[in-house]
Amino acid sequence: MNDIRVNRLLNEEQAHEAKDLVRGLKDRHIQLIAIGGAIGVGLFLGAGRAISQAGPGLVLSYALGGLVTFFIMRALGELLMHRPVAGSFATFAEEYVSPWAGFATGWSYWFMWVVSGMAEITAVGVYVHYWFPDVPQWIPALITLCVLYGLNLIAVGLFGELEFWFALVKVVAIVALLLIGPAVIIFGLGELGTTASFTNLWSHGGFFPTGVLGVVLTLQIVMFAYQGVELLGVTAGEAQNPERTLPRATNSVVYRILVFYIGALLIIMSLVPWNQLSPNESPFILVFDKIGIPGAAGIINFVVITAAASSCNSGIFSTGRMLYTLAQFGQAPRAFGTVNARHVPAAGITASAAVMLLGVVLNYFVPEQVFVYVTSVALVGALWTWALIVIAHLGYRKAVAAGEAAPVSYRMPGSPYTNWFVVAFLALVSVFLGLDEGTRVALYVAPVWFALLGVGYQLTKMLTKMRGRVANSAP
Query: How confident is the model over 107-131, as pLDDT tens digits?
Result: 988 888 888 888 788 778 888 888 8
Residue 1: predicted pLDDT: 42
Cα separation, 356 vs 206, in Å, equals 42
Task: Return the minimum-mean-pLDDT range out of 102-116, 230-244, 281-295, 366-380.
Answer: 230-244
Does residue 182 have a pLDDT over 60? yes
- Out of 95-109, 150-164, 184-198, the most confident range is 95-109
Which is more confidently placed, 318 or 388? 388
What's the whole-model pTM score? 0.83
For the chain, give the percent of residues with pLDDT over 70. 80
- The pLDDT of residue 391 is 96
Q: What is the mean pLDDT of residues 243-259?
A: 71
Strand partners, 239: 25
Please name the fold of domain 3-467.
Amino acid/polyamine transporter I (1.20.1740)
Tens-place pLDDT, residues 225-248: 787 777 766 665 555 566 666 677
**pLDDT category, 422, cuts 50, 70, 90?**
very high
Flag whether pLDDT at 4 surpasses 50.
Answer: no
* Listed range (76-80, 282-286, 426-430) with the worst mean pLDDT: 282-286
pLDDT band of residue 345 (cuts 50, 70, 90) is confident
pLDDT confidence band for 180 (50 / 70 / 90): confident
pLDDT digits (tens, 9 = 90+) for 204-225: 899 999 988 888 888 877 887 7
pLDDT at 155 over 70: no
Residue 466 has pLDDT above 80, yes or no: no
Distance of CA 400 to the CA centre of its chain: 29
pLDDT of residue 341: 77
pLDDT score for 208? 93
Span 34-42, average pLDDT: 64
pLDDT at 369: 63
Note the pLDDT of residue 400.
93
Q: What percent of the chain has pLDDT over 90?
A: 15
Q: What is the pLDDT of residue 366?
A: 64
pLDDT at 16 over 50: no
Between residues 233 and 357, the one the model is more confident about: 357
What local confidence, expressed as pLDDT, does residue 468 receive? 62
The predicted pLDDT at position 474 comes to 53
Instruction: Give me the mean pLDDT over the 19-31 stretch.
Output: 56
Provide the pLDDT for residue 439.
72
Q: What is the pLDDT, as a whole number, of residue 202?
A: 92
CA 189, 51, 371, 114 dihedral sign is positive
Q: What is the mean pLDDT of the chain?
A: 80
| Residue 467 in this model has a pLDDT that exceeds 70 | no
Assess whether pLDDT exceeds 80 at residue 354. yes
Q: How confident is the model at residue 3 (pLDDT cuts 50, 70, 90)?
A: low
What pLDDT does residue 377 have? Answer: 73
